[in-house]
A and B are shown apart, each in its own frame.
Chain A
Amino acid sequence: MRLEILRRKSAAETPHIAYFDYDPTDSTETVATALTRLNETLPDPIRWECSCLQRKCGACAMVVNGRPVLACGAQLLEYKDKVRIEPLRKFPVVADLIVDRSILYENLSALRCWMSAEADMHQRAADLGYEASRCLQCGCCLDVCPNFAPGGDFSGMAGAVPLSRLLAELPEAELAELSEQYRRHFYAGCGKSLACRNVCPAGIGVDALLVNSNAVAVWKRLLRRKRI
């Protein structure tokens, strides 16, 4: 199969496409396997980040054939003869397939995404909190978001999901400030394309999270108080 990889040694360099012929050794190989094996043969290895190799850490997010995916979850069998691999498109490139995703963390700090009081845990809060906890901060959702641009006011789903944990778990009296953050940095800017939902590598059920967050922070009907 033919791999096309967008390469550059540094951010300052103009990117170029490098072509490689690649033969997978078995049907389970992923894009991550291909990059690892290719690098064993290259004098100037392709720079990319990886850690868990099982879709749990988000390190290896990149764009494959136009779609943001985790390289360790992208099985080569799913693609035809040509696989085009590029870095994520909304973040500054460091080198080859590595991007600097600092903006994700800067946004969460700006949103004051932390517990301001002890959590008020019950089954429904735990269910929502669990789903939100699964966010990898990989950045795939922002890559496809028509409303997100680095430096803007809108945090995208990568900000809304962590906030939704807090909105589900904090006691009612503590919700005012976070609700304001949610409204200003997510609700007001989201165009509801939900492209993010379709690409999330963790398959996070954002619908239930948004229903609760909107209820708590926007509609204030406090559905969250209904304990199951």
Chain B
Amino acid sequence: MKRVIIIGAGLAGLSAAMELAKQNIGSELISPLPSERAQSVLAEGGINAALDLMGEGDRPAEHCADTLRGGCDLADPLAVQSLTAHAPELVKSLSALGVPFQMEGERLVQRNFGGQKKKRTAYAKSSTGKAIMTALIDEARKYEAAGLIRRWPHHTLAELCTEDGNCTGAVICDNYTDSALRFSGPVILACGGLNGLFPGRTTGTTQNTGDAAALAFSRGAAFGNLEMLQYHPTTVAISGKRLLVSEAARGEGGRLFTVENGHRRYFMEEKYPELGNLMPRDVISREMALLDGQVWLDMTGLSRAEWTKKLPDLRSELKHYLNLDPAKEPVPVSPGIHFFMGGILVDRTHAASLKKLFAAGECACQYHGANRLGGNSLLGAIYGGMAAARSAALWASEHREPEQLGPVTPQPETPGFQAKLGDILYGGLAILRDEATLTGALSRLEELSSATLTEAERRRLELGRAMLLSALERRESRGAHTRTDFPERNDGQFRKTTVAAIRNGAVQISFIPVPEGGEAGAS
């Protein structure tokens, strides 16, 4: 049996493994923790598909247009067209696997989400990611029993093997025994976002360290749009991280306000009367960054039934961590890093710049442009995983058992490194940026790089440098990237993908045109 190596057992990795299994191709599914612990389980609000179940005449073409517009015209139009065209059948197939999407009688219902005028988001209360993951984990189990998917839980990627610009395999390390194994074959990276570069400052998990992506970067893989960090407007600080208050809260009627002279000012509704509190996330976060004073999210207008039927987990989380009942009082919110639109640069087939290396899910730069719409991440992860699997299948090699490499001595972390790197990047890559803060952050990074660091830390640092340089070179404002010194969007010069890659030992930044025309390879 032929096999493909998959790094990451979240939604994109699972989706890739199952797509391969359907083609009778095996996979080695490698992850530090089981799928139940993947960040995908945190996705709350829903998954977009123009199923047109709400009588609004929704069409995939409108979903495509909204996604491209929301991404401020940086996403590949044909890739997005393919994604959105396949979304309805994909959501139906999830329903067939038993994902408990919200129903009224025998009919699936959809909710409003940001940046979209039509009710297009299918959801499972406020735990859609968890519900989808549960169904896919069960489905993958069927293929595990058939020997098609072989899981390697408690294993971490230690090395990406490359030869003459080809990815030839991966070395993984057993976190329980510190022993290493080498697999040969094409590799799909489905390793999630770069949260580890911003410890404690994102809504993601501690397991999304960014180390696997940083390995790919160090081995020459090109990255795209690294400056595009999504700040979600409604997060709250809890111990060790940011807690997301789902966009669904606003989809169901939650309102943002600030207090001026003792009066509430519903600033989003005032400035954007059509979409109001459901403007895309980049717009709301920017408005909040420009305001003085605390912003509150008022969900007290939601009915008891809406809390029970649509947002029960959100309410219990806020009660537990903030000791505050959102049904009774407004929640103080502020923007927090939530999603990385940028990542490993892939084409429409999800192939990376290294041959036989593929990427899907949040670690890949695809579909979301300069700003991701809520409800498109689950969709992009599943569809991207499928597309990457089809491409990797063409290179799948006859199975060989992994080579045992013996014990690895774990390198102890440099005390304080992670926090320092996080401080520098967070300072440079705030919602509002300018040349002075970015060059200042780069200087501080240079100081940090002179310390004695482990190899993994040095790789993280270089990826961080690539983020700062990408943000410095994009001298315009677009989507999640707001330069106060270049406040206008500049299509002539910058309707392009920022490409960061290590060439001759240093991070190089260039710009390539957003793909247009041709056939959608991932369809």
Contact = CB atoms under 8 A, between A and B. Distances in A.
Interface stretch (B30-38, B289-297, B424-432): B30-38
B138 A113 contact: yes
B145 interface: yes
Interface string A4-43: 0000000000000000000000101110110010001000
B139 A59 contact: no
A119 B95 contact: yes
Given A53-B205, A54-B238, A134-B127, A162 B134 contact: yes
A57 B141 contact: no
- Main secondary structure, interface of B, reads mixed
Contacts of B144: 109
Given A51-B207, A129-B131, 15 more contacts: A32-B239, A53-B205, A53-B238, A56-B41, A57-B205, A105-B151, A109-B141, A113-B138, A114-B145, A115-B97, A122-B105, A127-B100, A134-B127, A137-B34, A165-B138
Interface in A82-101: 94-95, 98, 100-101
B316 A203 contact: yes
B241 A57 contact: no
A114 B141 contact: yes
B241 A54 contact: yes
A52 B41 CA distance: 9
12 contacts: A32-B239, A51-B33, A51-B37, A54-B243, A57-B41, A102-B153, A121-B103, A123-B105, A126-B102, A134-B127, A137-B34, A137-B36
A56 B239 contact: no
Interface in B108-145: 108, 124-125, 127, 130-131, 134-135, 138-139, 141-142, 144-145
A56 B130 contact: yes
A49 B130 CA distance: 19
B257 to A, nearest CB: 25
A121 B239 contact: no
B96 interface: yes
Given A51-B37, A108-B141, A133 B135 contact: yes
Interface in B369-399: none
Contacts of A203: 316
A119 B125 CA distance: 19
Given A57-B36, A134-B130, A36 B240 contact: yes
B277 interface: no
Contacts of A109: 141, 144-145
Interface in B208-262: 238-241, 243
Contacts of A166: 98, 138
A26 B240 CA distance: 12
A130 B41 contact: no
B517 interface: no
Interface in B282-332: 313, 316-317, 320-321
B95 A121 contact: yes
B497 to A, nearest CB: 31
A52 B141 contact: no
Contact of B103 (A101, A112, A126, A135): A126
A55 interface: yes
Contacts of A115: 97-98, 135, 138-139, 142
The winner among A57, A113, A165 for most chain B CB atoms within 10 A is: A57
Interface in B41-57: 41-42
A114 B142 contact: yes
Interface of A: 26, 28-30, 32-33, 36, 40, 49-59, 72-73, 94-95, 98, 100-102, 105, 108-109, 112-115, 118-119, 121-123, 125-130, 132-137, 162, 165-166, 169-170, 203, 227-228
Contacts of B164: none
Contacts of A112: 145
Nearest to B176: A94
Interface residues of B, number: 51
B60 to A, nearest CB: 22
A114 B130 contact: no
Given A52-B42, A54-B42, A130 B131 contact: yes
B518 interface: no
A41 B473 CA distance: 39
A185 to B, nearest CB: 15
Contacts of B98: 115, 119, 121, 125, 129, 165-166, 169-170
B33 A28 contact: no
B104 to A, nearest CB: 7
A57 B37 contact: yes
Given A54-B42, A57-B41, A203-B316, A126 B101 contact: yes
Contacts of A72: 240
A190 to B, nearest CB: 22
Contact of A119 (B97, B145, B239, B313): B97
A9 B501 CA distance: 40
B100 A28 contact: no
A106 to B, nearest CB: 11
A133 B134 contact: yes
Nearest to B44: A56
A32 B241 CA distance: 11
